Amino acid sequence: MICVSIHDVSFELAAQYAREYPFVEFRLETLPVSIEEAGLLFSIAKRSVATCRPLGTEPQRRIQMLEAGLKNGADFVDIEIDAKDQLLEKMGDRVHETGSKLIVSYHNFERTPEEGILVEVYETACKYKADIVKIACSVHCHEDNLRLLSLCLRYPSLLVIGMGPVGRISRLFAPFLGSPFTFACPDDQPESAPGQLPYSKMKNLQKELQEYFYVRT
């Protein structure tokens, strides 16, 4: 499954993408929309992730934006693991009350830590009642990719992402190893994170992998 990350576009274009793609993430901290317009976007989307990072966004507005998603059908809410405990716990309870799922995410934009640290991240995220744990790390070599991908085989509901050009292979292969989904950018927009591929290219590559490497029984 591929989730198209929508960021830094107008309300009209975000709505167009919500209609066009089967699964989208709204990066609410980058979208120039009101709380009411955010709600409309989620009501349009077939399947969606609500994300609102703290970058230049007041804490109360973050909560309001995420609430707009929950009230209008967001399937997932993504909150970073280093958010204040109160926010993560409060929103986590709210997410589960609505029947949506909580993604607790960890980002390391410098490197891919050793396995022990990544395991600690996973276990900490689970303590916050995460339905999905997302680990996104900057990848500098294929050993980093292997470290991330091997975790998919060990832990359920773990979404791993290798950021940067070398990490693209992890974005492609992770869903085949148990990762719930992966991210792509709209076909006519730049990436919202280092190493993202356009939706159509990712979809075609995954289709080819299924045809060539999966044996049907």
Residues carrying an active site annotation: 107, 134
SS3 of residue 140 by DSSP: coil
Phi and psi torsions of 33, nearest 5°? -130, 155
Token pair listed for 185: 């950018």
Q: How many CB atoms lie within 10 A of CB 206?
A: 17
SS3 of residue 79 by DSSP: strand
SS3 of residue 153 by DSSP: helix
CA atoms of 16 and 31, how far apart (whole Å): 14
